[in-house]
Structure 1
């Protein structure tokens, strides 16, 4: 008689499930977690506050309750659990914006088979245009990505800032820094620092309120431009935070070369990356690697692969510091 490992079958079914992830992301997009009272909240109240259909919201909440995101102490009444509280916008490490639904991305993910079969990004095939071009032409999606970045920055600031001596610099330039959330966090913690925010014009156009809210607008220059055309001069620390994975190796070397061309002797380049660790152990970089494969055709890289990119661009890797989120890779001009 053939014996089956039933536990493995059940576990595989759980891993393959996309119902719960979609339920969580839909709840984020609708702001459901923000609609809860401190105690138990009737589903009718939640539906009224979120503009949703109460019977359908009930069904959504019950699947979330089955995974511990919410609880249903009484039929039709729900509380937000400790697991679900980071889905609130007011949470210090809120995941609401980083786990919302972006239809253009979802459509691309539905064709994950494309890059696996052909090596071409699914986004291009599904939408007929590249990811960055799409964002430039669709302000709503671009704003969603900016909110995602700001949400991720809150976590990254807690983990990455202690791993590098930012206060020893005079000017930090955040290249491809979005609307400035990460740079604002650095400047807010180091009052003598000055900053330069550099990204595409349509992206940095939204930086004013972010920098003003952090109280650092007077110490931060905002420049619109394309890293493929060049980088601003004058900084002693240049930051590329999760930028290189969006591009192929040759494109990444071109970007790095443009940065190297403006670095003065003694300046440092700080790469903040999810570095792929070889082996069977799970690390988030392996998941992010597939994410970039779907959207842009780029990839996340190992420590050695990042070092090779730097060398091709006239730089050398001088230190690597892992953190609970991103790894800090520091490069400098190759004296040779």
Structure 2
């Protein structure tokens, strides 16, 4: 018989308490929305000044900042006066790897997490249960939420681009079609890096409508065609490189098969398909894909796939998985038409 420990495992208790805490995640997101790090960019400021600058109550803001400072995000020097820490620096809007917009506190998302039990019982999106509508329809109907979501994706994409561009021979393509490419942040960076490339940005019409300034800022508008449509039914034809970045995992297998069949009908015989998204592996090793898997289950009903699941999915839709590259960040899954 296994002996029962005579006392509690204090380390485990402390660690579980830390993992179960949702005070810091919510407080951090609120601080991002309030641009606290921006207000501290020029040096320490009192809570009274910060509250006046952010339209908050000094006592309430003090409580939030002290909680964050206890975790190393900001620091309290003189009482009720706060400054940036190294951990808080990337929360500045002007930081080269800024994450300020990456962590919005969107009420609809928080409400969805309260229905996680629905996803566990049914396997369907908790967001739909909480709001009686799917995630993308909600974002289209609530432009303020949609704009904050889009901003969060831009912030994440800027970080991902730094790892993805050197990780693959993008220069071997002539025309890259970015399927579900959002406002063009990734494709614009790719075209700017490779002047010989032309691109096609394809997503829902209301999504690609915001791509003009993104492409113009990178100076690639003349080499990028912008098209709107439904990638479950048809995608632009003729490209030798097709990219679908963090979009296929939003879909269940039937939906993903529709997209892949549409790409298969459009891609050149010598073309390559690059799926850029988490690829989960079994075991205890930490992988962001395992967290994304739960996030997608709750918000949109999709999920990350394993290499074996992707191989089967490609096989059913006319592709062959060639290799999985694992740069720092998101894997690149390369497939070819068969």
Q: Which TM bucket (shorter chain)?
A: over 0.9
- Counterpart CA distance in 2 for 1:110 and 1:202 is 29
Deviations 1:94-136 (A, max 9, x none): 1111111111111101111110112121011110011122122
Match in the other structure for 2:18: 14
Q: Does 1:176 align with 2:180?
A: yes
Match in the other structure for 1:46: 50
Name which of 292, 296, 313 aligns with 1:292: 296
- Counterpart CA distance in 1 for 2:231 and 2:139 is 16
Q: Which runs of 5+ in 2 are unaligned?
A: none
Q: Which runs of 5+ in 1 are unaligned?
A: none
Q: Does 1:77 align with 2:81?
A: yes
Q: Which secondary structure state, in structure 2, belongs to the residue aligned with residue 144 of structure 1?
A: helix
Deviations 1:248-294 (A, max 9, x none): 01110111010001111111101101111210111100000000000
- Counterpart CA distance in 2 for 1:234 and 1:36 is 50
Deviations 1:128-186 (A, max 9, x none): 01112212222222211211111011111111111111112111111101101111111
Match in the other structure for 1:214: 218
Q: Does 1:193 align with 2:197?
A: yes
Match in the other structure for 1:109: 113
TM-score (structure 2 length as normaliser): 0.97
Alignment of 1:123-202 (within 5 A): 123-202=127-206
Shift of 1:66: 0.1
TM-score (structure 1 length as normaliser): 0.97
Match in the other structure for 1:96: 100
Equivalent residues of 2:233, 2:258 under 8 A apart: no
- Counterpart CA distance in 2 for 1:237 and 1:80 is 43
Runs of 4+ deviating beyond 3 Å: none
Match in the other structure for 2:265: 261
Q: Which secondary structure state, in structure 2, belongs to the residue aligned with residue 320 of structure 1?
A: strand
Name which of 280, 303, 306 aligns with 1:302: 306
- Counterpart CA distance in 1 for 2:89 and 2:313 is 40
